[in-house]
């Protein structure tokens, strides 16, 4: 994908933005690109768009033949931005994403949307153009008109305008695509050793240091949580560490990498179990983010600690009632083998804490309760008060919608076990997202600023596409994580 200031003779579609008002739609921005969108062209476009009912409502799509004066352009796609006073970066991303999705099969697209916010428009286009097709044989291979748009050119008011924003958008979208690819790869093909190997290839390709602990090393190191969850599977667990040394301040990232969650002996119902291929979305996001931090050259040290296991029921699986010893020595009574994420995360959090990070962020598709509380598009953010609020605010700024959640003190006692230091679940279902967070809190070192993101719903879209999000892996919360890291770098 490239950009230009002129429309080429091969421009198939010009994408413009339309805002809505009582007096009809207007083309936005109205003060740029006068050489292309002359007063005459604008007037003709508005006539044609009005004639076919365009209103400029958010994400509305209207396609018309290009006015003859728009030399070399075949058609114009107007995408709605809604009311002019509500056009923020997220609206631009969403509108650009909807446009990109509707343009499959198109080769060269040019757009004026970058005149509103180049970074947001580019991010929306690149994210919206994502597809995942490696598992289609000839029989269902995407036809030419189903291929993502090949090239998007962003009209800019002057040469070199927004070079950095465009570059960042491209790298961010690539990282989101990396996370989506991992999540979308089925559990037949992505199991702990394979996930670790793929993460290692990517990290080494970016010049980063990688350490992979296999089952023997995990045994030797005393990683009882990762081993306990992994031992029901014929495909042994891993723990991957990827480091980007970017500066003095240290951010630790931890991500849940359950490559498939059957629930284990506390087995899940068959209905929708296939969606548990997404139970490594936290791991995918932190692997993608540490690579992105390196590509962007952020001036913060970022280390990802990623436990990977497959939660299966078998004769070798852990049982409800088993007691395991987490890395670092805490003992846990495993009441419910389906509350496995917290067991592998606890080991990883303790390991990450040994680097004495200033900040620790863990990401996990941890609880169904997250979706009961917040729905499928709003991550729950828990942790130490100030950092939790900061992460939630930044998450909303980037369009990932994080929302701060409390730690009700009375819930903690419900995690007490009769025979071990802790139980992995409470004896009731109330505040399930919060008690999972309270469990993790036990393993976060004193004095570290901590945020826990529960992305059970937001990481995986089981419904239809919307905005710049398609079906399947969404890449949430990569854009939150990188924005938080950049915010820390700017402190």
What residues act catalytically?
268, 342
Q: Which is nearer to Zn ion, 25 or 341 (CB)?
A: 341
Single out the segment in contact with Zn ion by CB under 5 A; choices: 144-152, 277-285, 367-375, 434-442.
277-285
Residue 23 has which token pair? 């007096």
Spatial neighbors of 25 by CB under 8 A, at least 6 apart, are 18, 19, 46, 49, 50, 54, 55, 56, 78, 80
Nearest approach, Cβ of residue 261 and Zn ion (Å) = 4
Of the candidate spans 128-136, 279-287, 391-399, 401-409, the one that interacts with Zn ion by CB under 5 A turns out to be: 279-287
Q: What DSSP state is assigned to residue 352?
A: H
User: Interface residues with ligand BES (CB under 6 A)?
Assistant: 261, 279, 336, 338-341, 365-369, 425, 432, 456
CA atoms within a 13 Å half-sphere pointing along the CA-CB vector of 190: 28
DSSP states of 48-115: HHHHTT----TT-EEEEEPPTTSTT--EEEEEEEESGGG--HHHHHHHHHHHHHHTTT--EEEESGGG
> In angstroms, rounded to a whole number, what is the distance separating the alpha carbons of residues 233 and 219?
16
Task: For residues 261 and 187, give the distance between their C-alpha atoms in angstroms, rounded to a whole number.
Answer: 10
* Of the candidates 86, 87, 22, the residue with the CA atom closest to the CA atom of residue 55: 22
Q: Please select the residue that binds Zn ion; options are 341, 353, 457, 473, rule is CB under 5 A.
A: 341
Cα separation, 310 vs 318, whole angstroms = 12
Contact between 338 and Zn ion per CB under 5 A: yes
For 60, other C-beta atoms within 10 Å of its C-beta total 19
Q: Which does 181 bind (CB under 5 to 8 A by kind): ligand BES, Zn ion, none?
A: none
b/e 424-451 (16+ beta carbons within 10 angstroms → b): bbbeeeebbbbbbbbbbbbbbbeebbbb
Residue 115 binding Zn ion, by CB under 5 A: no
Minimum Å gap between C-beta 242 and ligand BES is 23
CB nearer to ligand BES: pick between 29 and 224: 224
- Report how far residue 428's alpha carbon sits from residue 474's, in angstroms, rounded to the nearest whole number: 31
Strand partners, 26: 19
Report what 369 binds from Zn ion, ligand BES, none; CB cut-off 5-8 Å by kind. Answer: ligand BES
Spatial distance between the Cα atoms of 74 and 5, rounded to a whole number of angstroms? 17
Tell me the number of residues near Zn ion by CB under 5 A: 6
Tokens in use for 286?
């932190």
∠ CA 131-192-253, rounded to 5°: 80
Task: Look at residues 119, 117, 16, 152 and name the one whose alpha carbon lies nearest to residue 75.
Answer: 16
Please identify the residue of the shown chain whose CB is closest to the bound ligand BES.
368
Q: Which residue, 70 or 334, has its beta carbon nearer to ligand BES?
A: 334
**Residue whose pair of structure tokens reads 């579609």 in the numeric block:** 13
CA distance 210 to 191: 18
**In the complex, what is the shortest distance from the CB of residue 409 to ligand BES, in angstroms, rounded to a whole number?**
19
Among ligand BES, Zn ion, none, the one that 368 touches (CB under a kind-dependent 5 to 8 A) is ligand BES
* Residue 363 binding: pick among ligand BES, Zn ion, none (C-beta 5-8 Å cut-off by kind): none
CB of 57 or CB of 471, closer to ligand BES: 471
Tally of CA atoms within 13 A in the half-sphere of 307 that contains its CB: 33
Binding-site annotation: residue ranges for Mn(2+)? 256, 261, 279, 338, 340
Tokens for 83, please give them: 């009311």
Q: Tokens representing 277? A: 């291929």
Least distance from C-beta 339 to Zn ion, angstroms? 6
Least distance from Zn ion to the Cβ atom of residue 308, Å: 12
Q: With CB under 5 A as the contact rule, which of the stretches 58-66, 75-83, 259-267, 448-456 interacts with Zn ion?
A: 259-267
Q: How far is the CB of 280 from ligand BES (least distance, A)?
A: 10
Residue 261 lies near Zn ion (rule: CB under 5 A): yes
Residue 347 contact among Zn ion, ligand BES, none, beta carbon within 5 to 8 Å by kind: none
Query: Is 181 among the residues that bind Zn ion (CB under 5 A)?
Result: no
Compare residues 129 and 276 and give the one whose CB is closer to ligand BES: 276
Rounded least distance, CB 253 to ligand BES, Å: 19
Name the binder of 299 from ligand BES, Zn ion, none, CB < 5-8 A by kind.
none
Query: Which is closer to ligand BES, CB of 108 or CB of 364?
Result: 364
User: Of 128-136, 208-216, 258-266, 469-477, which part binds Zn ion (CB under 5 A)?
Assistant: 258-266
Stretch that binds Zn ion, among 233-241, 261-269, 401-409, 443-451 (CB under 5 A): 261-269
- The residue (of 357 and 432) whose beta carbon lies closer to ligand BES is 432
Binding status of residue 279 toward Zn ion by CB under 5 A: yes
Using CB under 5 A, list all residues that contact Zn ion.
Answer: 258, 261, 279, 338, 340-341
């Amino acid at each position: 994908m490239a950009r230009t200031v002129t429309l080429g003779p091969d421009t198939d579609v010009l994408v413009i933005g339309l805002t809505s008002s009582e007096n009809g739609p207007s083309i936005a921005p109205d003060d740029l690109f006068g050489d292309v969108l002359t007063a005459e062209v604008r007037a003709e476009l508005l006539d044609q768009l009005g004639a076919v009912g365009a209103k400029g409502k958010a994400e509305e799509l209207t396609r018309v033949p290009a006015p003859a004066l728009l030399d070399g352009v075949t058609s114009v796609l107007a995408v709605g931005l809604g009311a002019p006073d509500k056009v923020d970066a997220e609206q631009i991303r969403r509108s650009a994403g909807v446009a990109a999705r509707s343009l499959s099969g198109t080769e060269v697209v040019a757009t004026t949307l970058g005149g509103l916010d180049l970074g947001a428009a580019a991010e929306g286009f690149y994210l919206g153009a994502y597809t995942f097709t490696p598992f289609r044989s000839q029989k269902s291979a995407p036809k030419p008109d189903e291929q993502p748009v090949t090239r998007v050119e962003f009209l800019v008011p002057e040469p070199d305008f927004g070079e950095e924003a465009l570059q960042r958008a491209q790298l961010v979208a690539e990282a989101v695509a990396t996370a989506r690819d991992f999540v979308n790869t089925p559990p037949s093909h992505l199991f702990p050793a394979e996930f670790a190997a793929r993460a290692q290839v990517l990290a080494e390709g970016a010049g980063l240091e990688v350490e992979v602990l296999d089952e023997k090393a995990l045994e030797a190191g005393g990683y009882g949580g990762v081993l306990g969850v992994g031992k029901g599977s014929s495909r042994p667990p891993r723990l991957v560490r990827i480091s980007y040394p970017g500066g003095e301040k240290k951010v630790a990232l931890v991500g849940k990498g359950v490559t498939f969650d059957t629930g284990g002996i506390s087995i899940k119902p068959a209905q929708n179990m296939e969606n548990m291929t997404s139970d490594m979305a936290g791991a995918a996001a932190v692997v993608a983010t540490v690579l992105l931090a390196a590509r962007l050259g952020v001036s913060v040290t970022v280390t990802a600690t990623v436990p990977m296991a497959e939660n299966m029921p078998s004769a070798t699986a852990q049982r409800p009632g088993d007691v395991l010893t987490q890395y670092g020595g805490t003992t846990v009574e495993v009441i419910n083998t389906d509350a496995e994420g917290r067991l592998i995360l606890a080991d990883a959090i303790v390991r990450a804490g040994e680097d004495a990070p200033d900040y620790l962020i863990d990401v996990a598709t941890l609880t169904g309760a997250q979706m009961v509380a917040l729905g499928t598009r709003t991550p729950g953010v828990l942790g130490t008060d100030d950092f939790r609020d900061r992460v939630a605010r930044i998450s909303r700024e980037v369009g990932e919608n994080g929302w701060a959640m409390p730690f009700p003190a009375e819930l903690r006692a419900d995690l007490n076990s009769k025979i071990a230091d802790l139980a992995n679940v409470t004896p009731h279902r109330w505040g399930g997202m919060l008690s999972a967070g309270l469990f993790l809190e036990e393993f976060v070192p004193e004095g570290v600023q901590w945020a826990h993101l529960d992305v059970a719903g937001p990481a995986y879209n089981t419904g239809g596409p919307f905005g710049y999000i398609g079906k399947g892996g969404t890449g949430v919360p990569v854009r939150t994580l990188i924005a938080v890291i950049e915010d820390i770098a700017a402190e």
